[in-house]
Structures are given as structure tokens and as C-alpha cells.
Amino acid sequence: MSSTGKKATLWDTIKAVGWSFFGVRKNSAYQEDLGKLTPLHIIAVAFAAVIVFVVGLVLLVRHVVATA
């Protein structure tokens, strides 16, 4: 596992969490992320993404039910 020594940006963490939501990730990109990302950042971004996802679903359902 080769590490570039470069720290991950917030955007790198968001992309990694986004790909994990779909369950698709290249092995090479996964190995690169292992060296750059910190677990605390991943957990924080994933928690925020779950909240946004759930709130989005609730709003969508409320909108559909209200217009039906």
C-alpha cells in the first residue's frame, strides 16, 4: 500500500462516502483512500449524508402525500 503523504480534502471524503452509498468503488481508489482518509472524517461526513438523505426522503413523501 503506497501512501502519497497527501491528506484528503473534504471533497475527497464526500466522494468516498458517496461511492460507498452506491456500493461501487474501484479497488485502486479504495486503497488510495485508505492511506489518506481518517475514520473520524468518514464518520462525520457519513452521518451528515444520512441525515440529508432521511430529511430528503421525508420531504419527498410529505410532498407526494400532500399533492395526492
Determine the Cα–Cα distance for residues 66 and 35; give it in Å rounded to an integer.
Answer: 47
* More confidently predicted of 7 and 1: 7
Determine the Cα–Cα distance for residues 45 and 16; give it in Å rounded to an integer.
Answer: 10
Domain boundaries, position 18: 10-67
Supply the pLDDT for residue 4: 53
Q: Is residue 43 part of a domain?
A: yes
Q: Is residue 4 part of a domain?
A: no
pLDDT at 3 over 90: no
Supply the pLDDT for residue 5: 60
Supply the pLDDT for residue 24: 81
Supply the pLDDT for residue 11: 92
Q: Is residue 3 part of a domain?
A: no
Q: Is residue 2 part of a domain?
A: no
Q: Is residue 60 part of a domain?
A: yes
Q: Is residue 42 part of a domain?
A: yes
Q: Is residue 31 part of a domain?
A: yes
Total domain count, the chain: 1
34-68: pLDDT as tens digits: 889 999 999 999 999 999 999 999 999 999 999 87
